[in-house]
């Protein structure tokens, strides 16, 4: 027979063994351990009469109301068995490890492999891509990124890599974050609009979120700013099993933002089992990440040294102002990051430029390049057929 006990039973046993002995138990234990000069016999009786004590022996001790004590003991044992069978939800749930604790144990014992949970594989992917991208950007700029590693009290953490006032980039940030937490019922209800697998009857759900976020603001206004984000989200049941999951992300050029967010790129969100299986969507996200450097590096190399004047620089500052507006007011990733308990504001707002400009009711020159760009942004063009 297996010696492994169910989780609920194991937790109940630990709960019992941790409980402090009652005063009656300690007194009885003390009497039992005390030296006994004579053999003592006990007589149990509920009535007033009892057998006589033989001469030469100490008076026999009488247990008060033994049948009552037995009845109370039976009730106590019954309650204990019932608790072990049905489970004291409040105490037992505290003994079930969180998904953060489970993942820490998995990484320590076996590392991250192709058979690991998707959340760990996504974590490994974004860490590897962050290193690759930072090395490539340092080679272009000649400067070094500041690396800031941080942890979260409930599990997870992140690595923020930021370059400021470089030769090519005024500001460049490449961040990864791994977040473990708990979704309240209100958040679950909101997410069920796109994810019906979420259980609507629970008060809370554990969640995991991992993502890589990148924003590059070049010095030269002729070079486009670029934004990238790829992420994975998962919720867990009380026993640690996966409840729901989905992928999201995109890459886009954000040099000039007006009535629409970008003038070229790819974007997707809420991709789950209703679209494709998990492995296919993970491969899709990986392919998108792999395509970033081969796509953007030729653009920045070609444009980083192009000539420009004060008019182009002012236009760049105005467009950055609109970027900040969109990022703080409309961007879902920024909103989620700021609303997450224990949010690290420095990392969430890493994407903002060092400098920007807000000018009341600014209108570009009629017929100029800036005015033509605004028209394109207001009426997006299908660049790829």
Catalytic residue, chosen from 38, 217, 227, 362, is 227
CATH class of 114-378: alpha beta
Q: Cα-atom radius of gyration of the chain, to the nearest Å?
A: 33
- Using CB atoms within 10 Å of the CB of residue 216, give its burial: 0 to 12 exposed, 13 to 18 middle, 19+ buried: buried
Q: Where are the domains of the chain?
A: 114-378
Distance CA(289)–CA(266), nearest Å, equals 11
Distance CA(246)–CA(234), nearest Å, equals 7
Q: For 239-248, 350-359, 376-385, which range has the lowest pLDDT when averaged over its residues?
A: 376-385
* Tokens encoding 288: 């998108």
Helix (H, G, I), strand (E, B) or coil at 252: strand
User: Crossing angle of helices 66-86/7-18, nearest 10°?
Assistant: 140
Distance CA(183)–CA(21), nearest Å, equals 38
Residue 18 has pLDDT above 50, yes or no: no
* Tokens encoding 59: 């008076």
Segment 126-168, tens digit of pLDDT? 999 999 999 999 999 999 999 999 888 878 899 999 999 999 9
Which of 164, 166, 172 lies closest to 134, judged by CA?
172
Which of 261, 265, 283, 238 lies closest to 97, judged by CA?
238
At CA 299, angle to CA 122 and CA 258, rounded to 5? 85
Segment 329-351, tens digit of pLDDT? 877 777 767 776 667 777 777 88
Tell me if residue 227 is catalytic.
Answer: yes
- DSSP secondary structure of 179-231: EEEEEEHHHHHHHTTT-TTS-TT-SEEEEEEEEEEEEEEESSTTSPPEEEEEE
Distance CA(16)–CA(201), nearest Å, equals 31
312 within 8 A of 222, measured Cβ to Cβ: yes
Assessment of whether the complete model's pTM goes beyond 0.75: no
Report pLDDT for 340: 67
Residue 289 has pLDDT above 80, yes or no: yes
Residue 242 has pLDDT above 80, yes or no: yes
Residue 89 has pLDDT above 50, yes or no: no
């Amino acid at each position: 027979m297996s010696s492994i006990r169910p989780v609920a039973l194991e937790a109940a046993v630990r709960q019992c063994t941790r409980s402090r002995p009652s005063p009656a138990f300690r007194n009885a234990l003390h009497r039992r351990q005390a030296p006994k000069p004579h053999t003592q016999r006990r007589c149990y009786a509920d009535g007033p009469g009892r057998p006589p004590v033989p001469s030469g022996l100490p008076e026999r001790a009488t247990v008060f109301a033994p049948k009552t004590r037995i009845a109370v003991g039976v009730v106590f044992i019954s309650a204990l068995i019932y608790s072990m069978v049905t489970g004291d939800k409040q105490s037992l749930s505290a003994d079930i490890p969180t998904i953060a604790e489970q993942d820490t144990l998995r990484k320590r014992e076996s590392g991250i492999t192709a058979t690991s949970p998707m959340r760990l594989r996504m974590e490994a992917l974004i860490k590897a891509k962050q290193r690759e991208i930072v090395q490539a950007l340092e080679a272009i700029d000649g400067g070094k990124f500041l690396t800031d590693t941080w942890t979260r009290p409930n599990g997870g953490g992140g690595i923020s890599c930021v370059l400021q006032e470089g030769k090519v980039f005024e500001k460049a940030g490449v961040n990864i974050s791994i977040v473990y937490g708990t979704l309240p019922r209100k958040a679950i209800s909101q997410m069920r609009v796109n994810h019906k697998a979420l259980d609507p009857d629970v008060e809370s759900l554990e969640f995991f979120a991992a993502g890589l976020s990148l924003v590059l603001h070049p010095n030269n206004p002729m070079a486009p700013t670029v934004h990238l984000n790829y992420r994975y989200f998962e919720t867990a049941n009380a026993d640690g099993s996966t409840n729901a999951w989905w992928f999201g992300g995109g890459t886009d050029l954000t040099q000039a933002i007006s009535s629409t967010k970008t003038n070229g790129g790819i974007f997707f969100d809420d991709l789950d089992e209703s679209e494709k299986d998990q492995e296919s969507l993970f491969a899709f996200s990986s392919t998108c990440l792999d395509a970033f450097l081969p796509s953007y590096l030729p653009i920045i190399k070609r444009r980083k040294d192009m000539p420009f004047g004060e008019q182009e620089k002012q236009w760049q500052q105005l467009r950055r102002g609109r970027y900040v507006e969109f990022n703080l007011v409309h961007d879902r990733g920024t909103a989620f990051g700021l609303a997450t308990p224990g949010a690290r504001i420095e990392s969430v707002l890493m994407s903002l430029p060092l400098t920007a400009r807000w000018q009341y009711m600014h209108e570009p020159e009629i017929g100029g390049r800036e005015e033509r760009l605004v028209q394109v942004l207001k009426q997006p063009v299908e660049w790829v057929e």
